[in-house]
């Protein structure tokens, strides 16, 4: 079950964190993975780890907020593999602030990556999938799509848009063999979290790490590999009856 043999998958923002875990998991299950990454060095590192583990992976430079870069990246995937079966829109950025403290520049920056980036990559992905009878798209949303989070105005806006785009794509292409779902993680322990704590709470990293962990009722943050396991299911043929859905992976946040 959950094998992806002979599948071609593209994962954006797969140079680290959740994206890297998804790329590595998909490759371990037999997919040929294209690591689409703005940071070319980290993208190459993920692809190299996959190949060292016996998988198949290529790194492709891609700025998801730039239409020309996205077109070039997806053209490169098509030229190398001939088709696209799976797209994971993982690339995203964060922002901390309320409606008062979020500047126009802040909002534009978050929108460009988290919303426009999903639009551009989904557009390119759908066009390729339509040539080959369909495929699966998975978007990385957030519990911020579903509940209010303190000081996350712009980020929440963007992830709410991801949820809406997920359902729109699902409805528009359900008859053409394209499924589209999203996952909504709570806090996940990634290098981004460690960097945020170092920069924001110097000398208090462990204390704040514990606070962030305890926000989840299970008492810890999620792991990238746990999100990757859910992504694997939703992009596999075993999930062929699922489209237009949002799956929280949140350590109990939405329950308690």
190-231, pLDDT tens digit by residue? 998 999 999 999 999 999 999 999 999 999 999 999 999 999
On whether residue 254 sits in a domain, the answer given is no
CATH code of residue 13: 3.40.50.720
Residue 54 CB partners (closer than 8 Å, separation 6+): none
On whether residue 73 sits in a domain, the answer given is yes
Task: Count Cβ atoms below 10 Å from residue 148 Cβ, excluding itself.
Answer: 9
On whether residue 252 sits in a domain, the answer given is no
On whether residue 251 sits in a domain, the answer given is no
Residues 197 and 160 in one domain: no
On whether residue 83 sits in a domain, the answer given is yes
Residues 94 and 156 in one domain: yes
Share of the chain above pLDDT 90, in %: 98
For residue 203, the model assigns a pLDDT of 96
On whether residue 116 sits in a domain, the answer given is yes
For residue 256, is pLDDT > 90? no
Residues 179 and 71 in one domain: yes
Structural element, H or E, at residue 246: strand 246-249
On whether residue 248 sits in a domain, the answer given is no
Domain span at 34: 8-185+223-243
Residues 60 and 165 in one domain: yes
Residue 214 CB partners (closer than 8 Å, separation 6+): none
Q: What is the pTM of this model?
A: 0.97
For residue range 21-78, list pLDDT tens digits in order.
999 999 999 999 999 999 999 999 999 999 999 999 999 999 999 999 999 999 999 9
Residues 65 and 87 in one domain: yes
Residue 2 CB partners (closer than 8 Å, separation 6+): 29, 232, 233, 236, 238
Residues 125 and 74 in one domain: yes
Residues 149 and 217 in one domain: no
Catalytic residues: 155
How many domains does the chain divide into? Answer: 2
Residues 129 and 195 in one domain: no
């Amino acid at each position: 079950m959950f094998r992806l043999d002979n599948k071609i998958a593209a994962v954006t923002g797969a140079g680290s964190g959740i994206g890297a875990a998804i790329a590595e998991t998909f490759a371990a299950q037999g997919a040929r993975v294209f690591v689409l990454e703005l940071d070319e060095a980290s993208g190459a590192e993920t692809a190299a780890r996959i190949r060292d583990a016996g998988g198949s992976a290529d790194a492709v430079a891609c700025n998801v907020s730039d239409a020309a870069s996205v077109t070039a990246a997806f053209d490169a995937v098509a030229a190398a593999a001939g088709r696209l079966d799976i797209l994971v829109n993982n690339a995203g950025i964060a922002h901390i602030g309320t409606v008062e403290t979020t500047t126009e520049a802040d909002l534009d920056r978050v929108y460009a990556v988290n919303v426009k980036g999903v639009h551009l990559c989904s557009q390119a992905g759908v066009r390729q999938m339509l040539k080959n009878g369909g495929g699966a798209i998975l978007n990385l949303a957030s519990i911020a799509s579903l509940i209010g989070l303190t000081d996350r105005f712009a980020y929440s806006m963007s992830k709410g848009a991801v949820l809406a785009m997920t359902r729109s794509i699902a409805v528009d292409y359900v008859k053409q063999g394209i499924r589209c779902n999203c996952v909504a993680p709570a806090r996940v322990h990634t290098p981004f979290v460690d960097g945020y704590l170092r920069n924001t709470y110097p000398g208090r990293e462990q204390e704040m790490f514990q606070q962030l962990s305890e926000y989840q009722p299970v008492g810890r943050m999620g792991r990238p590999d746990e999100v990757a396991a859910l992504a694997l299911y939703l992009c596999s043929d075993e999930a062929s009856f699922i489209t237009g859905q949002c799956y929280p992976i949140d350590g109990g946040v939405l329950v308690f």
